[in-house]
Amino acid sequence: NAGVTQTPKFQVLKTGQSMTLQCAQDMNHNSMYWYRQDPGMGLRLIYYSASEGTTDKGEVPNGYNVSRLNKREFSLRLESAAPSQTSVYFCASSEALNEQFFGPGTRLTVL
Amino acid sequence: GESVGLHLPTLSVQEGDNSIINCAYSNSASDYFIWYKQESGKGPQFIIDIRSNMDKRQGQRVTVLLNKTVKHLSLQIAATQPGDSAVYFCAENLSTYGNNRLAFGKGNQVVVIP
C-alpha cells in the first residue's frame, strides 16, 4: 500500500496563475482532508470531504476549491494564486473517528 | 526542507532521558485525541491516540495521559533517542464540527542531544 500520495512535490507559481494539487489514497477511507502548514504554526484545515460526493469548508477555505473525484482522489485547486498561499499543503485521509494518515506534502511558492 | 519548528516551544533532552511534551486543548466536549510526530520535510506521522473514556494509554516507548478536568494532554517518551528529534503535535476531535475533523496545536519541537 502506498498510503496517501500527493503530486507535485514542489511547485512555483506566479501571482494569478492557477494549479491543481492532486491527492490519492489506497486505504479505502471515506474521509479526506486538505491542510496548509506555515512556519511555526500547526496544520490548518482548508477543506474536507467526509464521504464521496460531499465537501465542506474548513478553517481557511478562501482562495481554494476542491473536488472529490471518487473515493480515492481529492484535489485542491487554486484558481488565482496569491503570495499568501505560499505554504506546504498536506492531504490526509481517515476512516470515521480514527487517526488521519498524511501524505508527504506539496511545497508551493507563489511569487 | 522547510522548518516547521520555527518559533515553536523547544524541549532539549539528553539522549536516554525521558521526554514530556504538554498540550492544552480547547473543547471540553472533545472525545478523541491524537499525538503526531513530524520530521523535517515530511508529513505528520501518527504516534498514539486516546479516547475520552481513558486517562492513560501506552504504546511502544510512549505514553499519553489525559486530564479532562484541566483539559490537558501529555506525551511521554521513554529513553529518548536521536530519531525522536522532531516537532510533535497534539490534535483534538472537535465534536461540535462533526466526527471527522481534528484541530491541531501549534506544535512542540524536541531536540535530542547525543
Task: Say whether pLDDT at B5 is over 90.
Answer: no
Please identify every stretch of chain A with a pLDDT value under 70, giving residue numbers as ranges: 97
| β-pair type (B10-14, B108-113) | parallel
Q: Do A31 and B7 touch (CB under 8 A)?
A: no
DSSP letter (8 states) at residue B82: G
Q: Do B2 and A94 touch (CB under 8 A)?
A: no
Question: Which pLDDT score, from 0 to 100, does residue B4 have?
Answer: 43
Q: Do B43 and A102 touch (CB under 8 A)?
A: yes
Q: What pLDDT digit, counting tens, does each position of A42-70 carry?
A: 899 999 998 899 999 999 999 999 999 89
Residue B56 contacts A where some CB pair is shorter than 8 Å: no
Question: Which pLDDT score, from 0 to 100, does residue A16 have?
Answer: 97
Q: What pLDDT digit, counting tens, does each position of B14-64 carry?
A: 999 999 999 998 888 888 999 999 999 999 999 999 999 999 999 999 999
Q: Which long-range contacts (CB under 8 A, 24 or more apart) does B99-104 make?
A: B99/A96, B99/A97, B100/A31, B100/A33, B100/A48, B100/A50, B100/A94, B100/A96, B100/A97, B101/A45, B101/A48, B101/A58, B102/A45, B102/A100, B102/B34, B103/B26, B103/B27, B104/A42, B104/A43, B104/A44, B104/B36
Q: Quote the CA–CA distance of B18 and B37 in Å, as a whole number.
A: 16
Q: Looking at the DSSP assignment, which residues form a beta bridge with residue A73?
A: A24
Please give the C-alpha separations between residue B58 and each of A39, B21, B79, in angstroms, as whole numbers: 31, 15, 14
Chain A residues touching chain B at CB-CB below 8 Å: 4, 31, 33, 37, 39-45, 48, 50, 58, 88, 90, 94, 96-105, 107
